[in-house]
Structure 1
Amino acid sequence: MRQEKFDDLVGRLDAAAARSPFLFRVRTALWLLVGYFGIALAFIIVLSCAAGMFLAAVLGQEQGVIFIWLGLAVLVFGLWMIGRVTWSISIPPKEVQVTAGQVPQLFAVLRELAAKASAPMFHCVHVSEEMNASVFEMPRFGLPFWRRRHLVIGLPLMSALTEDEFRAVLAHEFGHLSPQHRRFSGMIYRLRRSWERIFEKMEEMTAGFFLGFLRHFVRWFWPRFNAHAFVLSRTCEYEADAAAARHVGPAAMSQALTRFRAVSRTLDESFWAPLWREASTLGAPPAAALQGMMQILERNLDSPPALQAFEESKRVHTTNADTHPCLRDRLTRLGTWNTFEKLDRPLPLPQASDSAASRLLGPALPELWNAVGSQWAECVKSHWEKRHARARLLRPFAEAGPSPRREEEWQRVSAVCELQGDEAAEPLLTDLLLKHADHGAARLVLGRLLLRRNDSAGLDHLKRAVKADRSLYQTASDIVHDYYWRLGDAQETRKVLLALDQQDHSGASGGTSSILPHSLGQDDLVVLLDRLRGEGGIAAAHLGMVPAADGHSLPMLYLCLSPRRPWWRFWISSDEESQIRRLSMQVNLPGRTLVFAPAGRHRKTAREMMLVPGTRLDL
């Protein structure tokens, strides 16, 4: 479901909830039952197929053994595939767990706030590297029973807040478990997190034979249930803020909220981005990488990105990208917006000895930083190594000189973007677009870079990018959403998205019924074939085209890539999907190009193109 449709649905549901809160809760409960019915139906289908095999084994004497083995295979494999999804929400978090023996001061504060909020205590408390704090319950099989309550606290958050501010954050989290939190709304708030994890797990697992039904169901169900839960969850956030204000005070809660955005943006720009760029030179993530995080944060809190983030936090409005309301709305409810609006820069960080981390974690703090750093390094090791290996492949392209060939020049520019960042590649992007003005991917990257600086000239680049390559529409629309959200101008978002949508359809031929063999020049074809042969893992490739409706513009090119996979696997893995997405950004041919796999929403196009003589490429 596109963001615009989701926004419209949430708007209608907001109005429905205001008209009749009781009926809206009933409607949400019915949608929740639909979700559990879908999972139950998947189990029933598997059990029915297995039962049919066993019945056939009883009736067919000669082939009975074969049917028994088939029934067992269907039962075990089907339940295993479905269980991979439902058990995904019951996997314990990977963050470092702390106990009352390690950090008695922290647990004393937790017990005090739990008593004030009349809320149950957490079963497990974890610390992480994130600038965040969150509470979630881990139900078994996604059902609202046998829950274990977990609290995850980010060490950077504790280090950036005073003790009173952090107590307000904890009181907010306890507010989500409090009886004052309306029971039904609180349950929906927590179950929404469970269904979100199911949806994310389904997207990671490319559908196989038994998983296809469940994946299609979850893709249909999740956005609709999420829209209903969204309305209730946002109310829960306001109630949790009010609970924190009652138990700790509105000033402490307000100060914690005002620090958050500037500190998060500073860490992203000054710490995480440079750290991940080190993957191009280091073969493994440094275990001690997090040690200097707070020193870097303190040095850069007055940097332009931090000041820009602070000003943006005053302008942004509540959107449906997150259940959390915007800062203006939350502080207005707390009665402190007028005070915050007068500030012209972020609040300074507390002294290290006065931070919540020092006061509540005490002598265990250095040990916890080491443990969190080691855990982070272990969790990202595989991804880091892939980035390092990819950097080794990209470095020759980034170090190559200018090339007159469009494809080779884009490889050079995209390699610099990936290894050094968009800013380092800006002169190369500008030069490339002077030579090839219709290069969609280059337009997209330059537009994204300019909008990140709040330069509206980037919008024109996005429109021209989508006009040159309509497969870039979704990425461009996400960039537009983020830009206008930071400016606090929701109305202008719809206007620009409408213009992008018109560019998306201008030049479309009206379908795929007129797919023809490609008319690619020999030079471009040789470059493409060399690229695909050097990539590895591609079993077959088909290239076709659809002439432009006006008869003058360049045609729309379709490049279908079939990954090489074992004979027993009938689906495309997540790694293969990632490979195709990456190639879609790297392969650039004259005209607009859509790169896809012969599965998913493009499977009909793929089947039709494979029947057209002359579309298969010789790999």
Structure 2
Amino acid sequence: MPDARFDQMIAALEQSAAHNSSAYRRRVVLAGLLGYVVILGLLALLTGLTIAMIVLMVTTRTGIAAEVKMAIVFGLLSFALIKALWVTAPPPEGVRVEPDTAPALFDMIERIRAATGGSVIHDVRIIDQMNAAIVQDSGSLFLGARNRLYLGLPLLSALSPAEVEAVIAHEFGHFVGDHGHASGFVYRVRQRWAQVEERLPDGIVAGLLRRFFGWYGPWFAAYSFTLARRQEYEADQVAATAVGPRIMADALLRVAAQAGRFDTAWRLVWDQAPLRPDPPRSPLTTVASVFTEDDPADQTMIDRELGRSADRHDTHPTLAQRLAALSQSADLPARLQKTAAEPLLGETLAPIITHFDEQWHDWADALWADEHAQRQADEAERQAIAGQIAGGATSRDQLYRYAALTEAIDTPQSAAQAYAAVLALHPNANDARFRQGDMLLTTGDDAGIDLLLAAADGERALLPHAYRHIVDYLLRSGRPEEAAPYFAPLEQAERMEEAARHEANGIDETARLRPLSPDLRERLTALIDGVPGVATLHAALRDMDHADAPQIVFVFSARKEHVATQVLDALIEAMLPAGDLIGLERSFKRRWLFNRIRRLPDSSIVN
């Protein structure tokens, strides 16, 4: 469904839901049941045909071989549908905590459960993310079996105990009363349809089902999206009733501010990698320390969040919308004096931190060593290029590489000068102009604003990045009134960026295809030379609505002794230097694309 059509549908459905929320909720449940009716009806048909073939084999003596084959086919299709309908949950993440080791946490959960009328929590797990959620596990067709509460250790370290109560109450609010049952049902339906579509095999029956899901999926997504967004408001109201609207508002504001601190703290941890060979012993402790510091950037982060518009890809309303629904102001909460982590987790806190630190080291130590080794290699490369430049080298690639290495190694002032040297000889190098502007802003020089805008004017893809850097710079500088005029252009640019990303990641029958140029065809042929397992490959250019440059589209088939996904990965890696591309394996489902490309002149690269 096109973005504009989806947005119009969402707007109309939100009005309908606001008029009569109960009736709308029933409509969403019925919409979810429609998918089950189609799937279960097809399953009943296939099962009936399988039984009919078996009955024919038993009652007749002729045509048994054909009946056996048909029974096997129908039986396998029935089994594939049953398997696809069975949603399998991944193993639970995080560290499980028990009432005897964290009694204060479980007392809080039970107190909030009683206040909200929520369901019993069967499992509580601490995770390493700035998030919280209640997840209903389901292995049956309709009903959930267990409720699992996930609480992020960073979240517990970033909020007061009262604010954590508000967060938990909000999560309970998703599963309270009639709308809670609807929420759980809709969640499982969305999960199941995504899995069914992914697991369906190729073939005529699967093709028909995919066509159904191609219509039903976006339609149900729009209906359930509206319900999910309304339920965020309802969950906020449940929490406000349980803990008080001001505490709920403080929790929303605190999370918005602390999320920015959390991201910044992790960036600062990784900024040390080039400078020291050993990573910090306890990065989680280092990151958590920022949550209780005074930081004037908190208000900047809140102001930015308050200026955001609703995102069509996020069921959460904006911070401003949620505060307005609670009838609460956007006053920043007082500095956090004591976080909730220690009083709630008690003696389990230290081993949980150790567990996540060890988990982080298992993942990060090799990357850290690579970062440090890369810095040494960058130093050596920069010295070598400096010698070439001193000897008269003036190529754009050499100058830009020297500037990029200077940015990674040296001061922003030095990097800005290096990028200026690129532009002095290559004035159309918009990437260098963008980086120079960014470096100037880092030093506090407003001249970087004009350079960022000039770079974006020359290369449309840079526009959202330019606006983000400008807004961040002005807000960091304590100039929100100067940043405000950029909010709306930034949001528009981000919508265009998302549209470009969405367009680039998919393709349908409306794609505008044209032949490759002789030079590009020759280059692609050279790039994929040596890629093993390619049986055939046809390619074309696709003109894009949301990007300046065309996209390379190719359809390939793999040799029998090779795995198609591995061949695709190798082809994409080999062809990336030629530009943006999308590659698909040749199949019955994609025959329309193969036929269109094949009819273009000189589209065959491998045959």
Select 1:532's aligned residue among 507, 523, 528.
528
State the partner residue of 1:137: 136
State the partner residue of 1:302: 295
Structure 1 residues 78 and 222, CA gap change in structure 2 (3 angstroms): closer
Would the aligned equivalents of 2:54 and 2:68 in 1 still touch at CA under 8 Å?
A: no
Select 2:343's aligned residue among 359, 365, 368.
359
**CA offset digits 1:592-616 (Å, max 9, x no partner):** x643324599753333323556333
Structure 1 residues 511 and 5, CA gap change in structure 2 (3 angstroms): closer
Provide the TM-score with structure 2 as the length reference: 0.71
Counterpart of 2:295 in structure 1: which amino acid?
D
Name the CA distance, whole Å, in 2 between partners of 1:51 and 1:479: 64
State the partner residue of 1:292: 286
Name the CA distance, whole Å, in 1 between partners of 2:192 and 2:399: 38
Within the alignment, does 1:60 sit opposite 2:63 as a pair? yes
Name the CA distance, whole Å, in 2 between partners of 1:203 and 1:449: 47
Name the CA distance, whole Å, in 1 between partners of 2:116 and 2:123: 18
Which of structures 1 and 2 has the larger relative contact order (alpha carbons within 8 angstroms, sep 6+)?
1
**SS at 1:617's partner residue?**
strand
State the partner residue of 1:96: 95
Q: CA deviation at 1:238?
A: 2.3
Structure 1 residues 227 and 302, CA gap change in structure 2 (3 angstroms): same
**CA offset digits 1:93-115 (Å, max 9, x no partner):** 22222221221111111112222
Counterpart of 2:324 in structure 1: which amino acid?
T
Counterpart of 1:258 in structure 2: which amino acid?
L
State the partner residue of 2:32: 32
**CA offset digits 1:389-426 (Å, max 9, x no partner):** 9x99xx89x969699999x889979x989x99xx9999
State the partner residue of 2:146: 148
Within the alignment, does 1:108 sit opposite 2:107 as a pair? yes
State the partner residue of 1:230: 225
**CA offset digits 1:87-139 (Å, max 9, x no partner):** 23x44422222221221111111112222223222111111011111112223
Name the CA distance, whole Å, in 2 between partners of 1:276 and 1:564: 42
State the partner residue of 2:10: 10
Structure 1 residues 48 and 515, CA gap change in structure 2 (3 angstroms): farther
Would the aligned equivalents of 2:557 and 2:585 in 1 still touch at CA under 8 Å?
A: no
Unaligned runs of 5+ in 1: 467-471, 549-553
Q: CA deviation at 1:9?
A: 1.3
Structure 1 residues 429 and 604, CA gap change in structure 2 (3 angstroms): farther
Within the alignment, does 1:191 sit opposite 2:185 as a pair? yes
Would the aligned equivalents of 1:202 and 1:215 in 2 still touch at CA under 8 Å?
A: no
Q: CA deviation at 1:531?
A: 3.8
Identity fraction in percent = 23
State the partner residue of 2:519: 520
Name the CA distance, whole Å, in 2 between partners of 1:358 and 1:206: 48
Within the alignment, does 1:609 sit opposite 2:589 as a pair? no
Would the aligned equivalents of 1:451 and 1:459 in 2 still touch at CA under 8 Å?
A: no
**SS at 1:292's partner residue?**
helix
State the partner residue of 1:587: 577
**SS at 1:97's partner residue?**
strand
Would the aligned equivalents of 2:138 and 2:144 in 1 still touch at CA under 8 Å?
A: yes
Q: CA deviation at 1:224?
A: 2.3
Would the aligned equivalents of 2:249 and 2:326 in 1 still touch at CA under 8 Å?
A: yes
Structure 1 residues 109 and 28, CA gap change in structure 2 (3 angstroms): same
Q: CA deviation at 1:145?
A: 1.6
Counterpart of 1:103 in structure 2: which amino acid?
A
Alignment of 1:62-461 (within 5 A): 74=77, 76=79, 79-80=82-83, 82-83=84-85, 86-88=86-88, 90-141=89-140, 143-179=141-177, 183=178, 185-198=179-192, 201=195, 208-209=202-203, 214=209, 217-271=212-266, 275=270, 289-295=283-289, 302=295, 308-337=300-329, 340-341=330-331, 343=332, 347-350=334-337, 354-374=338-358
Name the CA distance, whole Å, in 2 between partners of 1:239 and 1:95: 28
Structure 1 residues 547 and 251, CA gap change in structure 2 (3 angstroms): closer
Counterpart of 1:134 in structure 2: which amino acid?
A
Counterpart of 1:357 in structure 2: which amino acid?
A
Q: CA deviation at 1:197?
A: 3.5
Name the CA distance, whole Å, in 2 between partners of 1:282 and 1:460: 39
**SS at 1:290's partner residue?**
helix
**SS at 2:603's partner residue?**
coil
Would the aligned equivalents of 1:164 and 1:252 in 2 still touch at CA under 8 Å?
A: yes
**SS at 2:12's partner residue?**
helix
Q: CA deviation at 1:43?
A: 3.7
Q: CA deviation at 1:369?
A: 2.0
**SS at 1:87's partner residue?**
coil
Would the aligned equivalents of 1:450 and 1:456 in 2 still touch at CA under 8 Å?
A: no
Would the aligned equivalents of 1:134 and 1:151 in 2 still touch at CA under 8 Å?
A: yes
Q: CA deviation at 1:20?
A: 4.1
Provide the TM-score with structure 1 as the length reference: 0.69
**CA offset digits 1:263-322 (Å, max 9, x no partner):** 11222233168659969x999x999653432135556x7385x55423212322444332
Name the CA distance, whole Å, in 2 between partners of 1:87 and 1:411: 50
Alignment of 1:504-519 (within 5 A): 515-516=514-515, 518-519=517-518
Name the CA distance, whole Å, in 2 between partners of 1:190 and 1:139: 10
TM-align CA RMSD: 5.7
Name the CA distance, whole Å, in 1 between partners of 2:595 and 2:260: 45
**CA offset digits 1:418-477 (Å, max 9, x no partner):** x99xx99999999889999999999999999999999698678668656xxxxx8xx989
Alignment: residue pair count: 564
**SS at 1:173's partner residue?**
helix
Name the CA distance, whole Å, in 1 between partners of 2:47 and 2:133: 38
Would the aligned equivalents of 2:143 and 2:185 in 1 still touch at CA under 8 Å?
A: no
**SS at 2:554's partner residue?**
strand
Structure 1 residues 247 and 479, CA gap change in structure 2 (3 angstroms): farther
Unaligned runs of 5+ in 2: 473-482, 504-508
Would the aligned equivalents of 2:538 and 2:606 in 1 still touch at CA under 8 Å?
A: no
Would the aligned equivalents of 1:541 and 1:561 in 2 still touch at CA under 8 Å?
A: yes
Would the aligned equivalents of 1:135 and 1:152 in 2 still touch at CA under 8 Å?
A: yes
Name the CA distance, whole Å, in 1 between partners of 2:142 and 2:451: 49
Structure 1 residues 31 and 319, CA gap change in structure 2 (3 angstroms): same
Name the CA distance, whole Å, in 1 between partners of 2:427 and 2:47: 57
**CA offset digits 1:530-581 (Å, max 9, x no partner):** 5434666655443445899xxxxx9956441536465697xx64x7776677
Structure 1 residues 150 and 495, CA gap change in structure 2 (3 angstroms): closer
Counterpart of 2:102 in structure 1: which amino acid?
V
Q: CA deviation at 1:150?
A: 1.5
Q: CA deviation at 1:587?
A: 2.7
Name the CA distance, whole Å, in 2 between partners of 1:265 and 1:119: 31
Name the CA distance, whole Å, in 2 between partners of 1:242 and 1:444: 45
Would the aligned equivalents of 2:464 and 2:493 in 1 still touch at CA under 8 Å?
A: no
